[in-house]
Structure 1
Amino acid sequence: MLVIFGGLPGSGKTTIARALAERLGATYVRLDTIEQALRNSGMLRDEVGPAGYIAAYGIAGDNLKLGNTVIADSVNPISITREAWRQVAQRAGVSAIDVEVICSDKVEHRRRVETRQTDIEGHVNPTWDEVVTLSYENWGPGPIVVDTALKAVDDIVTELVDRLRATGPR
């Protein structure tokens, strides 16, 4: 299956996505890593545009075709990127599960954004102003929504594993 994560920067999606990938022994595909690698190549210095997503779709598709569960970690701010991830799963003949990560405590969310350190060489995390002004489309009623302000990472991951197992192949 393809587990498609999304959520604003600093919401906790990378923390949850990594922990889920580790728990499931899944392939982890992080858009920030791909985009920064493209910038570091010297070919794309500033605006990466859709190149990072397109590369991520290809990597995810290859791994899905090998029979791996893939965890896709990206902001996914617009419906077109979410639908493109679902098409990757469809082409590979596997189910796609959407997971939106939120932090309902705005004070905590801001603290995370303003204090987190980057773990990708050369990557610059967005500022709080950039996060709150980001164009982020509503997901509607479809995704599993997890709130990192309410529960610990291990509890969220345990609940996600249970829900993913219950959902199973479509």
Structure 2
Amino acid sequence: MTFALAVVGGAGSGKSTVAQRIALRTAAVYLDKDSLAGPLVEAALAAQGQSPDDRESNSFYIEHVMPAEYRALFSVAGDNLRLGRSVVIDAPFAAYLDQPEFFTRAASDSGWPTLPRQVLQVFTSETTTRRRLAERGLPRDHAKLNDWNAFWPTWGDLSISWTGVRLHRLNNDLIPDIDAVVARLEG
């Protein structure tokens, strides 16, 4: 059965690792927002004289670039779903989680067929998240770590208000049993 799964979580939650493992286990197409649009985002920000490393507080990125990223992501997912290929989408979605109709509207606008739409919210404790961000050492994480007291309360454990999806949560402080996660998604 063809399915669409969005794996959602904040920076450092381990959402990408979980999404990749689920895609591998289910033979689904893996779609990572940063891989799909990252170089284009960096070029757009550079063309505007903007830093590619601080996106959370960059109004140009939030208002102009980010919506295009998500439109592209949903369009590529729709292409695969119409071909009968399941998709696992790896993206934070943070700016859209409080918009109940976002996922349903984006899927409809991209011509997704009617099929099960599920969301797996991956989360970790504050301590684990901070440690993971420091360990991976990515330039885009420097702003988060340097202003942790602003980052964590806003972008830590996020609440999802989407309608039209089946929501699952996964505490990723420890290594999850992906077979158990997939069984839950199939149940």
TM-score under structure 2 length normalisation: 0.72
Match of residue 115, structure 2, among 87, 94, 100? 94
The aligned residue for residue 67 of structure 2 is 50
- 1:102-117 pair list within 5 angstroms: 102-104=123-125, 106-117=126-137
Q: String of CA shifts for 1:96-153, please: whole Å, max 9, x gaps.
A: 011100103x2222100111155xxxx733623264154575125962100011x424
Q: Would you say the 8 A contact 2:7–2:88 is kept in 1?
A: yes
Give the superposition deviation at 1:80.
Answer: 6.1
CA change 1:92–1:99 in 2 (3 A) is same
Match of 2:130, SS state, is helix
Tell me the distance in 2 between the aligned counterparts of 1:33 and 1:49: 14
Q: Which amino acid aligns with 2:132?
A: R
Q: Where does structure 1 lack aligned partners over 5 or more consecutive residues?
A: none
Give the superposition deviation at 1:161.
Answer: 1.1
Displaced runs of 4 or more, over 6 A = none
Deviation larger for 29-38 or 61-70: 29-38
Q: Give the number of equivalent residue pairs.
A: 157
Tell me the distance in 1 between the aligned counterparts of 2:154 and 2:33: 17
Tell me the distance in 2 between the aligned counterparts of 1:27 and 1:81: 26
Tell me the distance in 2 between the aligned counterparts of 1:55 and 1:65: 15
Tell me the distance in 2 between the aligned counterparts of 1:43 and 1:108: 32
More helix by share: 2
TM-score under structure 1 length normalisation: 0.78
Q: Which amino acid aligns with 1:152?
A: I
CA change 1:159–1:38 in 2 (3 A) is same
Q: Would you say the 8 A contact 1:100–1:143 is kept in 2?
A: yes
Query: Is 1:124 matched with 2:135?
Result: no
Q: String of CA shifts for 1:21-64, please: whole Å, max 9, x gaps.
A: 01111111111223312135x34434222111010010001001
Q: Which amino acid aligns with 1:164?
A: L
- 1:1-150 pair list within 5 angstroms: 1-40=3-42, 42-45=43-46, 46=50, 47=61, 48-77=65-94, 78-79=96-97, 83-87=101-105, 88=107, 91-104=112-125, 106-118=126-138, 124-125=140-141, 127-128=144-145, 129=148, 131-134=151-154, 137-139=158-160, 143-149=167-173
Give the superposition deviation at 1:83.
Answer: 4.0
Please tell me whether Structure 1 or Structure 2 has the larger radius of gyration of its CA atoms: 2
CA change 1:108–1:43 in 2 (3 A) is closer
CA change 1:59–1:84 in 2 (3 A) is farther
